[in-house]
Amino acid sequence: MYLTKSVFPEAQFQYTEHLTRDAMWQPHLLRHPNTARGLETVFLCSEDPVATAAKLAPMFGVEPNAASRGECLLQLSQSSLRVVSPESWSTWAPGAARPPLPAPVGVGVRVASLEAARSLLDRNRVPYSLGLAGRLRIDPSHAAGAVVYFFADAAAPT
């Protein structure tokens, strides 16, 4: 089901319920050389993060929380939607061009090992840099127009 774009111009939202978990979540389909474990966050940039988060929160059934200055977090059961101001986004992705707002601007992937993710990026010659708090960041020119962040899984063994 797609949500009406005129009501939610922030992004093209799609609601999908997988009723075939056994077919979709097979162990061999869940392993990746970068040690990805799941989606950590989606970044949505808005001129007014508080208003945007308040508008989207009922759709997700959560309350918006101020994450830091210029950011609101919609925390879901295993991932989040991080609504950021242009100023906040510029700290997450320095120098990244900004599309017309509001718009999705990046994604964060949870990995078991930042070192394994870094090693895979090195082997495949994918340029990256260190982002906030030492996380790995791939800039839009090498990530199909969005920023990709790699977050360490807090539950992963060290």
The pLDDT tens digits for 35-71 are: 999 999 999 999 999 999 999 999 889 999 988 889 9
Spatial separation of the C-alpha atoms in residues 82 and 85, rounded to whole Å: 10
pLDDT of residue 117: 97
Place of tokens 């030492």: 134
The domains found in the chain, sorted by start residue, are 34-152 (3.10.180.10)
**Residue 23: band (very low, low, confident or very high) from pLDDT cuts 50, 70, 90:** confident
pTM here is: 0.86
SS (H, E, C) 107-152: EEEEECCHHHHHHHHHHCCCCCEECHHHCEEECHHHCCCCEEEEEE
Residue 1 has pLDDT above 60, yes or no: no
pLDDT of residue 37: 92
CA–centroid distance for 7 within its chain: 22
